[in-house]
Copies of this chain bind each other. A is one copy, B any other.
């Protein structure tokens, strides 16, 4: 990569005016995400893009001068994917925050990439609709960022991941060309499925500037929250498998082990009973929400729950959404994002206990249990090897999840944090295909280089 000269920057400023910024404080602010990784270095400039044309001008310039580009939505990513590059350009989409259309009759919305996820959801609500993707960061993260990372969340067990809600995309390619792909219709078999290829590509193939997304109808009636306390986390895992295979599909189905419940209660007290092993908490919707929540609670009891509860209050779910900050407040960072087939959950909790025992380090669990998506937190004790020892445990957990038919990342993505794990999951041919696609679409390698794949 070359070093950008003042003269070259001036060329870009001619296009962008004061949407181009070089203040060190701003570069630092926009130069990192929410992961534990520090940026690789300070960028030389920041584009606060206000239009697709701004993004196009910026990429055209970066491609010509071979300047590495990092792309930033709201900086809520957990994999270091938006961290800046030394001598690089940061492109922020946060000013591109218009909801361009809500097409209620076709249950579609067209939004610029920088729209906050919760803002779109609120706008849809006025039409009796909702935007299914709901990562825990929904109040601050952007739709574009959700799409670029194919974000998960709590409602995935009922509504799938972000890619399932993407109908069409506008993307700026590495050299500044603007591409539109996908369709407003559900059925569309015209050429390759580029919208799915770009969704989850973490800024390495192009920059998503706007999206047509699918909305769903809000179910009538009052949602119900159910909770079940288990003496044994293994029983809780078995209950999850039984619920998912039962006749009553929940909207949300989460698991917190004892340590996690304690952490969340310390951070945001709800008065919930601390279970001896684990707690399941979830939601049902629809006119029969109560009946279904009761039926799910009964499945929990059959599978060994020591207490169950159904209510209209969603305070427990609100508390669940705070698990990340709660654990951070205790000095723990979520370090792991594996997923396993849901029928293996009980066995996997056993296996995790075994790994914990082998290393002599505590492993705590918060899980999007209905999807088998586990966020394991490993004790980082300076007297027991500190972070380095914890990282070895994470490695073991990750390999173990793979051995159980799972994946190294359920929803946080690869970014810079998990790149070393890629060959554990992907075979040589699959890696080669990814590199070939990357090279074909970004031959100079300027877009979020050396991340995601």
Contact = CB atoms under 8 A, between A and B. Distances in A.
In the complex, which range does the number of interface residues on chain A fall in?
A: 35 or more
Interface in A234-288: 241, 245, 247
A428 B294 CA distance: 55
A200 B182 CA distance: 13
A436 interface: yes
A425 B422 CA distance: 36
A427 B179 CA distance: 7
A247 to B, nearest CB: 6
Contacts of A105: 241, 245, 342-343
A421 to B, nearest CB: 8
Contacts of A177: 428-429, 432
Interface in A165-218: 173, 177-181, 183-194, 196-197, 199-201, 205, 217
With most chain B CB atoms within 10 A of its CB, the pick from A179, A343, A430 is: A430
A20 interface: no
A409 interface: yes
B200 A452 contact: no
A401 to B, nearest CB: 9
A217 B248 CA distance: 11
A392 to B, nearest CB: 21
A434 B150 contact: no
Contacts of A173: 429, 433
- Copies of the polypeptide in the assembly: 2
A313 interface: no
A83 interface: no
A380 interface: no
A156 B432 CA distance: 34
B187 A192 contact: no
A197 B197 contact: yes
Contacts of A103: 341, 343
Given A339-B188, A441-B436, A194 B406 contact: no
A104 to B, nearest CB: 8
A106 B341 contact: yes
Nearest to A79: B189
B371 A187 contact: yes
With most chain B CB atoms within 10 A of its CB, the pick from A181, A190, A196, A205 is: A190
Given A191-B452, A408-B190, A427-B180, A339 B200 contact: no
Given A189-B414, A190-B425, A193-B163, A406 B106 contact: no
A220 interface: yes
Contacts of A408: 190
Contacts of A409: 188-190
Interface in A419-453: 422, 425-434, 436-437, 439-441, 452-453
With most chain B CB atoms within 10 A of its CB, the pick from A194, A199, A422, A432 is: A194
Contacts of A440: 436-437, 439-440
Given A194-B434, A429-B179, A149 B407 contact: no
A176 to B, nearest CB: 10
A188 to B, nearest CB: 4
A114 interface: no
With most chain B CB atoms within 10 A of its CB, the pick from A161, A189, A217 is: A189
Contacts of A144: none
Given A178-B429, A179-B429, 20 more contacts: A105-B245, A105-B343, A106-B342, A161-B187, A179-B433, A180-B427, A184-B405, A184-B406, A185-B406, A187-B371, A187-B407, A190-B409, A190-B414, A190-B425, A191-B452, A192-B205, A193-B196, A193-B197, A436-B441, A440-B440
Closest 10 CB pairs of A and B: A196-B196, A105-B343, A179-B429, A187-B410, A440-B440, A185-B339, A436-B440, A106-B341, A177-B429, A188-B407
25 contacts: A105-B241, A149-B189, A150-B193, A156-B186, A161-B186, A163-B196, A173-B429, A179-B433, A180-B430, A181-B430, A183-B407, A185-B341, A186-B371, A187-B372, A188-B409, A189-B412, A190-B409, A190-B425, A191-B452, A192-B197, A192-B453, A193-B200, A194-B434, A436-B441, A437-B440
